[in-house]
Amino acid sequence: MESSISVTYIESTTMSQRKKTVIDILRDSDDFVSGEAISDVLGISRNAVHKHVKSLRKRGYRIVGVSRRGYRLEDEPERLSMAHVTQRTENTMFGHSFRYHDEIESTNLEAKTLAQKGAPEGTVVVAEAQTAGRGRLGRRWTSPAGKGLLFSVILRPSMPMSEAHLLTIVAATAAAEAIERQVPARIAIKWPNDLFIGDRKAGGILMEISGEQDEVDWVVLGIGLNVNTEFSELPVALRRTATSLRMAGGESVDRSEMLAGLLLSLQAHYTAALRGGFERALTAFRERDYLLARTISVETRQGAVVGAAAGIDDRGALLVELPHRRIRSFHSGDVTLRP
Ligand code: BTN
């Protein structure tokens, strides 16, 4: 039977041909290869060779350089097995069209461009590394090459724009369940969609939507998950607040299986929400509510509001109890814990 699965492998930058060739030359040799030899074979300057090596190192290739001897490839980043992912997701909603990038600016950005051009629901954009990964509230999402999961899916739900934001709750609960199936960790969700292990963030979701008021055109759901990232690989600024599945569980995690598990779980939760509404997702969220009953501060345009987190309402808004038992709801905002 003919398969209709499409996996497009996309090399990183315009220099990809040369980068690939530098790595090919290094792979072909067990010993050092001089910069001069590489530049002769490729017909590029020594400086260009040096730049390619630098870029490869940034993408997770361990290349030692010794003066007068040249470069030697010591280790390569582990790559996702798209063969495994496609086999596990065959005949499912997120199993028909994959765009796999070695390196990309942002999978969300690419998925949005594809969605605008009419790419079908279920298209998956996945990357080993992002040069400008985007987080919520204009923040950055950083992850060392080949260590995390960085992917975005295109959805085309038939629902009004006013309900679509609830899909982040669906995605967060789907992700939490998928992770727990593979890793011995309890996942809590910090409103609206941060994935927490203990008091540290392991993953986040960025949802972008387009449509008219009464009908969604497309949704891009981007998920970033720290999988095999080690403590030393976390940006210094995040070392007190972030974690990875490996750091939490003590063992390296099969990223391809994790990606497949996330996509399958996402399909189950998404189709359940389309058929039966958001009740199930809201209940699942409430069982994992990281903030519940804690004293929090919600950053709003008018300033910070401090109170006790009191769960979420049926529209997914965060409820905060203020003095005199007054409850206020928030549809967006940055939340921090108060001591
Ligand atoms: C957050 O916690 O602020 C959300 C982070 C979402 C990051 C993911 S990584 C894959 C996808 N592409 C992006 O540029 N961002 C999302």
Distances (CA, A) of 254 to 82, 170, 258: 12, 24, 6
Single pTM value for the model: 0.89
* Ligand 1 atom nearest to 108, measured from its CA: 12
pLDDT of residue 1 exceeding 90: no
At 20 the pLDDT is 55
Q: How far is CA 327 from CA 181, 183, 310, in A?
A: 36, 37, 8
Q: What is the mean pLDDT of the chain?
A: 93
pLDDT value of residue 11: 63
Q: 205 C-alpha to center of ligand 1: Å?
A: 5
Q: Atom 16 (ligand 1): residue with closest C-alpha?
A: 222
Residue 211 has pLDDT above 60, yes or no: yes
Over residues 90-111, the mean pLDDT reads: 96
Q: Note the pLDDT of residue 51.
A: 93
140 lines ligand 1 (CB under 6 A): no
Is the CB of 265 inside a 6 Å radius of any atom of ligand 1?
A: no
Mutate to test the pocket of ligand 1, among 134, 226, 243, 334 (most ligand atoms within 8 A of CB): 134
Contact (Cβ atoms closer than 8 angstroms) between residue 189 and residue 290: yes
In tens, the pLDDT along 261-278 reads 999 999 999 999 999 999
Ligand 1 pocket test, candidate residues 108, 200, 238, most atoms within 8 A of CB: 108
Is 89 within 8 Å of 82 (Cβ atoms)?
no
The confidence band for 18, taking pLDDT boundaries of 50, 70 and 90, is: very low
Which pLDDT band holds residue 17 (cuts at 50, 70, 90)?
very low
Inform me whether the pLDDT recorded for 320 exceeds 80.
yes
pLDDT computed for residue 301 by the predictor: 84
Highest mean pLDDT (candidates 59-63, 134-138, 264-268, 300-304): 264-268
Question: What average pLDDT score do residues 151-177 get?
Answer: 97
Ligand 1 in contact with 142 (CB < 6 A)?
Answer: no
Q: Which atom of ligand 1 is nearest to the CA of 201?
A: 2
Check pocket membership of 139 for ligand 1, CB cut-off 6 A: yes
Model pLDDT, residue 55: 87
Length of the chain: 339
Q: Is 108 in the pocket of ligand 1 (CB under 6 A)?
A: yes
What is the percent of the chain with per-residue pLDDT over 90, rounded to a whole number?
85
